[in-house]
Structure 1
Amino acid sequence: MAKNQRFEKIYSQGTMSVTEIWVDKETGINYLYHASGYSGGLTPLLDREGKPVISSIVNS
């Protein structure tokens, strides 16, 4: 595995039907990933106003 990965998983729920939230460490944008069986999808996580949820970026 690479030392410096761009995305970090911050939330995970489920085993057969999985829901996860990933954060892009360069932009801070949060992504929602959902998979069930042989299908899955990834989309930016949006707030009530339809804007992407952005986390503060911490350089570590």
Structure 2
Amino acid sequence: MAKNERFKTVYSQGTVDVTQILVDTETGVNYVFRKVANAGGITLLLDKDGKPVISPIENS
């Protein structure tokens, strides 16, 4: 990962129908990205209580 990349892909599934989990490297907030054919969208990844999932930030 380049030092200036804000988002890191931590999970990816599929090639045409794509599901990915991205982590904001500055805040640790997780997002779900979904793409099917020419349409796609992104939203926060929430836990069972409806709160955003936040990963520990790696200091590298």
Instruction: Give the TM-score band, short-chain normalised.
Output: over 0.9
Matched, 1:55 2:55: yes
Map of 2:23 onto structure 1: 23
**Corresponding residue for 2:40?**
40
How far apart in 2 are the matches of 1:28 and 1:3? 15
Over the residues paired in the alignment, what is the CA RMSD in angstroms?
1.0
Query: How far has the Cα of 1:4 moved from its partner?
Result: 1.3
CA distance in 1, matches of 2:3, 2:43: 25
Structure 2 residue identity aligned to 1:45: L
Stretches of structure 1 lacking an aligned partner (at least 5 in a row): none
Number of aligned pairs? 59
Runs (5+) with no aligned partner, structure 2 = none
Q: Give the TM-score normalised by structure 1.
A: 0.93
1:5-60 deviations in whole A, cap 9, x for unaligned? Answer: 11000100001100000000010000000000110000010001000000000111
Question: In the superposition, relative to structure 1, how do residues 3 and 26 fare at CA in structure 2: closer, same or farther (>3 Å)?
Answer: closer
